A and B are shown apart, each in its own frame.
Chain A
Amino acid sequence: MTAAPDGARSVPDHAHEDVDGTAAASSTTAATPPPPVEEAAMAEAMGPTRTAAGSGPYFGDFGGRFVPEALIEALDELDAEYSKAKADPAFGDELARLHLTYTGRPSIITEVPRFAAHCGGVRVILKREDLNHTGSHKINNVLGQALLTKRLGKKRVIAETGAGQHGVATATAAALFDLDCVIYMGEEDTRRQALNVARMRLLGAEVVPVSTGSKTLKDAINEALRDWVTNVDTTNYVFGTVAGPHPFPAMVRDFQRIIGVEARQQVLDLTGRLPDVVAACVGGGSNAIGIFHAFLDDPDVRLVGLEAGGDGVDTGRHAATISGGAPGVLHGARSFLLQDEDGQTIESHSISAGLDYPGVGPEHSWLSSIHRAEYRPITDAQAMEAFRLLCRTEGIIPAIESSHALAGAMQLGREAVAAGRPDTTILVNLSGRGDKDVETAAAWFSLLDEGES
């Protein structure tokens, strides 16, 4: 690890000086407010101590590679190939072409005034990742990793999936690129997200239900790692979020940061200024880091990650990893996780399969530790209320995952108004659409109806 570039490590020392938690690298951005400059120019202007400069393996005290030695060669190979690809314009061009002609990027932003009325009346703008092909942000990452798989000369991909969105995206890319595809999915999730199981099978993927442990996403990852250790010669592991061993946290983030790069400019074009708050749900953290990243060095932009609070953090039945967990190692990285006093992983609980994960990406743990981003829990009930509201007020059915971010916007908007800032603008990452969740939502609301009558 000695030779690995590690821009992130020098940052926290500066960042700690910012007691108000809003600015991590203010000294480098200084005097003039950031104009709507091009990404590259901005990167150059900000120099090497930018908060956004972290490229792993470590983000402060978090990250690393806590994996069996048998995987190190594959991780090194992936890291090297990714570095080469990053420097190769042909790779970037091919990815950009896929975004434009396959996914439907750039995704639009939508201002939602009727929903915003429930957020204290502040301005609310949605980044519409729900409109992507396959229905969520997951495709952004998968296309990048599928192209890398081709470059590695491998013919088989495996992936874990919780809600099924990453599995569907991976199965989609496998069909497109003619790769064999095996998806590991907790047995419990195959029941909750049966529609997505059918989608993956339609796309030609083999779906393997995992019945060990808690039978959810964390166990699907274990099983995928076992497959990878065994078949690493032929197989690339297309990991679905910004957790896992290096290079996944940095690489997946890089593939998702297009969300924030687009949204930053789109909000500037629409409103003439940056948003005051950016809100996103956090499972492993890929959609959140994707939209946060372009704003990390905009010190006045508050970044808020909404974790799955389940029945409430105090009940112990939740998936709020940063709000209710502690640092440790799970699935290859040092980060926050839900664990008992023996370091055994605690099963998470959330109505949202995509957030039902007891870990979180190391960059989020770091951003939390330096107070550049904040994380708070949203309960199942709060998320479902936001889900219902967006359906009724705007005619958009959100993923239950994304509904946690919407519920966060409701809280943050009301708080801003209460604090005398009614002119606040909140950018919300609508990470996915709710088609897959119709059954869950129907069950939830008819239960409520029964209870009320």
Chain B
Amino acid sequence: MTDQAVGTQDPRARDVRSAVGERIDAVRAAGRAALVGYLPVGFPDVETSVRAARTMVEQGVDVVELGVPYSDPVMDGPLIQKAVESALGAGVRVRDTLRAVEAVAGAGAPVLVMTYWNPVIRYGVDAFARDLASAGGAGMITPDLIPDEAGEWMTASDRYGLDRVFLVAPSSTTERLALTARASRGFVYAASTMGVTGTRTSVGEHAARLVADTRRAGAEHVCVGLGVSTADQAAEVAAYADGVIVGSAFVRPLVEAAEGSPGSDGIERLAAVVRDLASGVRRAAV
């Protein structure tokens, strides 16, 4: 909770390898931006969510985000709320997330856990980091944890060699961009608009400037999330960001399948959406 926690980390921390950062660099060397795909663990059930995540990787996702279902997801819009509420209703546990990480980690893409902070506090920050690392996880994205409050996580992530992805928003000041860039490892998550997750007709016009500002503030990698749902949007974002984060658009086919839309195998439809978005990031010239 002090500058110490954020600014002057253990110098060895600089030497922690970033699995996600390396993947983004590799993708960039291939001349494009990374596609980062989110799915909540346990929707419609743990087994299917694992299959869905592996499918994402097979179809062109470069980095996986697995969401820990949480009772009070204030950063999520109606679609993801619905999916996690259903997962929790079916009794999905935090430890299922770690099992899912283990099952997805071998698929060929680094796996980040996306989680609200209280489940981690409850598990124990150090214990969760330890178990995440031993499950083969690459790190965590923490939507309701700002670096100012992240002292324990900074220590634990250094200790277990995990990436830590913090968010920036169009409202972030220059100082906060610098603070967040310094605290993050792997990439900085730039929220494209002021708002919650969900598909949108356009990615916020602030996003490109936010990416540039965040880079100028010292971030090595900046990925853009919130509202990207089409190949065109992905191509547009891929032209200026290191990665394109897609959530709701990947969750939607699974929700529709669960709701019994005619002729829907959720995973097949998900595969088609991933292929489409993957073509988007490959279309843009970096």
Contacts and interface: CB of A to CB of B under 8 A. Distances in A.
B72 A331 contact: yes
Contacts of A69: 146, 166-169, 172, 176, 180, 191
A344 B71 contact: yes
B121 A329 contact: yes
Given A1-B2, A67-B144, A329-B118, A73 B171 contact: yes
Interface in B161-181: 166-173, 176, 180
Interface residues of A, number: 37
A339 interface: yes
B2 A73 contact: no
B146 A343 contact: no
B81 A212 contact: yes
B168 to A, nearest CB: 6
Contacts of B123: 342-343
Interface residues of B, number: 43
Nearest to B146: A69
Nearest to A67: B144
A232 interface: yes
A205 B72 CA distance: 25
B3 A73 contact: no
Interface string A56-91: 001000001111111011100000000000000000
Interface stretch (A196-204, A222-230, A421-429): A222-230
B2 A229 contact: no
A329 B73 CA distance: 12
A213 B71 contact: yes
B146 A72 contact: yes
Contact of B75 (A1, A212, A229): A229
Given A68-B144, A212-B81, A213-B71, A343 B191 contact: no
A344 B170 CA distance: 30
B117 interface: yes
Contacts of B167: 68-70
A232 B194 contact: yes
A68 B72 contact: no
Of residues A2, A74, A225, which shows the largest number of chain B Cβ atoms within 10 Å of its Cβ? Answer: A2
A328 interface: yes
A439 interface: no
A70 B171 contact: yes
B2 A222 contact: no
A229 B194 CA distance: 6
Given A65-B146, A70-B191, A342 B2 contact: no
A2 B149 CA distance: 11
Contact of A67 (B146, B168, B196): B146
A413 B44 CA distance: 54
A70 B145 contact: no
B195 A66 contact: no
B86 to A, nearest CB: 12
Interface string B219-248: 000000000000000000000000000000
Contact of A213 (B72, B143, B145): B72
Contact of A345 (B71, B75, B176): B71
Interface of A: 1-2, 58, 64-70, 72-74, 212-213, 218-219, 222, 225-226, 229-233, 328-332, 337, 339, 341-345
Interface of B: 1-3, 70-75, 77-78, 81, 85, 88, 93-94, 117-123, 143-146, 148-149, 166-173, 176, 180, 191, 194-196
Given A1-B2, A66-B146, 13 more contacts: A65-B146, A66-B117, A66-B149, A70-B171, A73-B171, A226-B195, A229-B194, A230-B194, A331-B72, A342-B93, A342-B94, A342-B123, A343-B70
